[in-house]
Amino acid sequence: MADRIVDLRSDTVTRPTPAMRMAMATAEVGDDVFADDPTVRALEAEVAALFGHEGALFAPSGTMANQIALQLLVPPAGELLAGADAHVVTYEMGAAAAVGGISTRTWPSVGAALDVEQIAAMIRPAGFPSVPTRAIAVEQTHTLGGGSVVAWETLRELRAVAEAAGVALHCDGARIWHAHVAEGVPLNAYGQLFDTLSVCLSKGLGAPVGSLVVSSADRIAQARIIRKRMGGGMRQVGILAAAGQYALRHHLDRLAEDHARAHRLAAGLEPLGVVDATTVRTNLVPLDLTKARLDAPSLAAAAAERGVLLAPMLPRLARLVTHLDVDDAGVDRAIEVLTALLT
């Protein structure tokens, strides 16, 4: 093993910095189930304001934040429309159905390249015997779409379609920060388009834990009940909210550095024929290994032995993710190791 590991599996692997730990250690706390943790309240108000919404609710994970939002928008036996490759469909262990009684119908996998007309045609009006469509979920940035960004115009068109049909729009905005930094679209402009958003502080922003549901005051009051039902009521959790506040203040704008490193990484790997650097918009670099001499698990194992960690996603698809704990030397090392393995 090399002495220094370059961990490119995900932007969730970051460790809190000493300054973030100090903010956590000195946070004022209370019992958040009684809604009297001042640091949580402050973080919730700050995030709600960033997105131009009335309220926000702190949750322990992006999955729980998504599932709370979906339960707010879709009653049991109602239908959610989402992409076949969406996180809410692919990675949340059937929670929408198991926890919310929600029926999900998917459009084919297109990552961030949404076909608004196709989605519009899928909407089913209320009325027996069909399951009525109650919400549409989109993902920004799109994880399985290689960190791609749903275009602002596409989102506006989708909003118009949703409004005309009387269905709600949810954004799985785990990495909406990355879209904001990459495209320059203000967070509150994104906020206006969605009835609910879930956003994560632990993906790229460097907090150890924490996501929020963002929505209207009424919905957030209901979200509090759903969170408690799901076991997500936490006590002196200001310690974690302080990490989130710190992350928003100090680690949001610097995401541009991660995007630049991802681009440099992709450009360095382009001669291997596994990635097109022009498609890399944010901090994810997908590696298409269809024609490579190693498949994704074999490449991951061989690279790990040389101190570079990457994530196999499918048999012939792997990904590299830049973040706070990956510097220029780490990018150089990854290019060197992967070039040696794939040449």
Is residue 244 within 8 A of residue 54, CB to CB? The reply is no
Is residue 275 within 8 A of residue 285, CB to CB? The reply is yes
Question: What DSSP state is assigned to residue 191?
Answer: H
Beta carbon of residue 128, minimum distance to ligand PLP (angstroms, whole number)? 33
Closest CB to ligand PLP among residues 85, 335: 85
Rounded distance, CA 314 to CA 300, Å? 12
Beta carbon of residue 245, minimum distance to ligand PLP (angstroms, whole number)? 18
Beta carbon of residue 280, minimum distance to ligand PLP (angstroms, whole number)? 17
Residues in contact with 252: Cβ distance below 8 Å, sequence separation at least 6, in sequence order: 177, 181, 205
Neighbours of 49 (CB within 10 A): 15
Rounded distance, CA 206 to CA 65, Å? 18
Closest CB to ligand PLP among residues 132, 196: 196
Beta carbon of residue 124, minimum distance to ligand PLP (angstroms, whole number)? 25
Closest CB to ligand PLP among residues 66, 215: 66
Burial (0-12, 13-18, 19+ Cβ within 10 Å), 26: exposed
Closest CB to ligand PLP among residues 114, 292: 114
Backbone angles phi, psi at 59, to 5 degrees: -135, 155
317-321 vs 284-288, strand pairing mode: antiparallel
Beta carbon of residue 127, minimum distance to ligand PLP (angstroms, whole number)? 32
Q: Which long-range contacts (CB under 8 A, 24 or more apart) does 89-97 make?
A: 90/144, 91/63, 92/63, 92/66, 92/67, 95/63, 95/67, 96/67, 96/70
Residue nearest to ligand PLP (CB): 62
Closest CB to ligand PLP among residues 211, 322: 211
Closest CB to ligand PLP among residues 170, 333: 170
Contacts with ligand PLP by CB under 6 A lie at 61-63, 66, 87, 139, 143, 172, 174, 200, 203, 211
Beta carbon of residue 110, minimum distance to ligand PLP (angstroms, whole number)? 15
Find residue 38's DSSP bridge partners: none
Find residue 285's DSSP bridge partners: 320
Rounded distance, CA 209 to CA 243, Å? 8
Question: Position of tokens 């929600």?
Answer: 102
Closest CB to ligand PLP among residues 252, 292: 252
Beta carbon of residue 21, minimum distance to ligand PLP (angstroms, whole number)? 20
Closest CB to ligand PLP among residues 62, 111: 62
DSSP annotation string for 232-251: ---SSTHHHHHHHHHHHHHS
Residues in contact with 42: Cβ distance below 8 Å, sequence separation at least 6, in sequence order: 241, 245
Beta carbon of residue 139, minimum distance to ligand PLP (angstroms, whole number)? 5
**3-state class (DSSP) for residue 41:** helix
Beta carbon of residue 87, minimum distance to ligand PLP (angstroms, whole number)? 4
Closest CB to ligand PLP among residues 62, 268: 62
